[in-house]
Amino acid sequence: MRTQVAIIGAGPSGLLLGQLLHRAGIDAVVIERQTPDYVLGRIRAGVLEQVAVDLLDEAGVGDRMHREGLVHEGFEMLVQGRRHRIDMHLLTGGKSVLVYGQTELTRDLMDARSALGLATVYEASDVTIGGFDGAKPFVTWKQGGREQRLDCDFIAGCDGFHGVCRASVPKSAIREYEKVYPFGWLGLLSETPPVNEELIYANSERGFALCSMRSMTRSRYYLQVPLTDKVESWSDEAFWQELRLRLDAEAREKLVTGPSIEKSIAPLRSFVAEPLRFGRLFLAGDAGHIVPPTGAKGLNLAATDVKYLATAFIEYFTERSEAGIDHYSARCLRRIWRAERFSWWFTNLMHQFPDEGPIAARFQQAELDYLLNSEAARRTIAENYVGLPLTFGE
């Protein structure tokens, strides 16, 4: 089998890349380790920046997102029992974000791919990649016990943090920057109306909490928990009780609880690999970088990597120009580091760090006191939250 671009991973990065390439007349095959249902069962992101929304429109998969997504023009920060609204719309000259689940977006991309009859291999085991340091990259995998091989011009590593692509690069060719936080997020999804029209990010003495949503009838909540906690030891009742204790009186009153339909713990990590290109292999999305979810940046960064990568491949195949592929890594990394910084900073601002002692907690409170009472500071938060443009000043 032969194609122009072999895409490893059918998460949002891989599927969006496949769609953008298809629209430009470039042939690609997507190879995924799991089943479609397994991919759709992972409950992750919920907030899309305008840049990501525009890309999904460009890919021709935006209809349901616009019908069902919720436009949010602000969010709330709950600090010392008081809520402060970050009016994104006002502070950024009219910008907003769209609340639309990663599951739904992935489903839209999968549906578009199968409607177009584009080649996708699911349940591929033992995926390996090779030849990317020369002119003839290839991918091999096993399916139903049979060895398969795909030859290609380029490999797009869209296979997430634990994928095979980054792991196939020689250690001497890659530099990795990493910070692991001393806590995780316990997430719960329930068929209940959200406690508030907008997201609430809560800094509580008992630990961070986030009230988010997927629709007006489906809520997503998160609690900061020690890394040693096991999801099995958190009953739904214990979750709701702890959430109540981290919220303000009004939210406690309004909170509607119900059985969980999903519950999981995610560790928090900041991670960047440099560079993102190795000959004819390119890393995009979580394969190349991870942010803690506090700033809602992971999926958005994945979408913009993919935009840069699709543009680079299109320039290569239609104009025979290598400028885009040569600049891919530096272009992405500049935007990635800015989002990494914001996510790290917002994580530090909103969580409890018991090991850092009481003075760190006082510094955090003083910083929040300053930020929430300064319009300039609130604008900075809003500007980062709605997301950076695809291109910014040299």
Spatial CB neighbours of 45, under 8 Å, sequence gap ≥ 6: 101, 102, 293, 296, 298, 299
For residues 294 and 346, is the Cβ–Cβ distance under 8 A?
yes
In the complex, the smallest distance separating the C-beta of residue 16 from ligand RFL, rounded to whole angstroms, is: 8
In the complex, the smallest distance separating the C-beta of residue 293 from ligand PHB, rounded to whole angstroms, is: 4
Residue 59 in the binding site for ligand PHB (CB under 6 A):
no
Closer residue to ligand RFL (CB): 271 or 361:
271
Given ligand RFL, ligand PHB, none, residue 294, with its beta carbon under 5 to 8 Å by kind, binds ligand PHB
Residue 307 in the binding site for ligand RFL (CB under 6 A):
no
Whole-angstrom Cα distance, residue 316 to residue 313?
Answer: 5
Residue 296 in the binding site for ligand PHB (CB under 6 A):
yes
Closest CA to 245 of 293, 297, 206, 189: 206
Residue 127 in the binding site for ligand RFL (CB under 6 A):
yes
Q: Which residues within the stretch 191-220 sit at the binding site for ligand PHB (CB under 6 A)?
A: 199, 210, 212, 220
In the complex, the smallest distance separating the C-beta of residue 327 from ligand PHB, rounded to whole angstroms, is: 30
Q: Which residues within the stretch 286-305 sit at the binding site for ligand RFL (CB under 6 A)?
A: 286, 293, 296-300, 302
For residues 213 and 104, is the Cβ–Cβ distance under 8 A?
no
Whole-angstrom Cα distance, residue 163 to residue 306?
Answer: 17
Q: How far is CA 70 from CA 64, 96, 98, 226, in A?
A: 11, 10, 5, 32
Site string for ligand RFL, 220-259 (x = CB under 6 A): ----------------------------------------
Whole-angstrom Cα distance, residue 378 to residue 84?
Answer: 10
Select from 45-53, 74-82, 355-363, 385-393 the region that touches ligand RFL (CB under 6 A).
45-53
Select from 39-47, 232-240, 258-266, 276-284 the region that touches ligand PHB (CB under 6 A).
39-47
Given ligand RFL, ligand PHB, none, residue 76, with its beta carbon under 5 to 8 Å by kind, binds none
One of 3, 102, 311, 343 touching ligand RFL (CB under 6 A): 102
Residue 294 in the binding site for ligand PHB (CB under 6 A):
yes
One of 22, 33, 214, 246 touching ligand RFL (CB under 6 A): 33
Closest CA to 97 of 159, 45, 167: 45
Spatial CB neighbours of 337, under 8 Å, sequence gap ≥ 6: 272
Residue 190 in the binding site for ligand PHB (CB under 6 A):
no
What kind and span of H or E run contains 289? Answer: strand 289-290
Residue 163 in the binding site for ligand RFL (CB under 6 A):
yes
Given ligand RFL, ligand PHB, none, residue 298, with its beta carbon under 5 to 8 Å by kind, binds ligand RFL
Name the residue type at position 271: F
For residues 192 and 250, is the Cβ–Cβ distance under 8 A?
no
The partner residues of 142 in beta bridges, in order of sequence, read: 125, 147
Whole-angstrom Cα distance, residue 283 to residue 325?
Answer: 12
Give the active site residues: 72, 201, 293, 297, 385
3-state secondary structure of 388: coil
Whole-angstrom Cα distance, residue 207 to residue 205?
Answer: 5
Residues near ligand RFL, by CB under 6 A: 8-14, 31-34, 39, 44-47, 102, 124, 127, 158-160, 163-164, 185, 187, 266, 285-286, 293, 296-300, 302
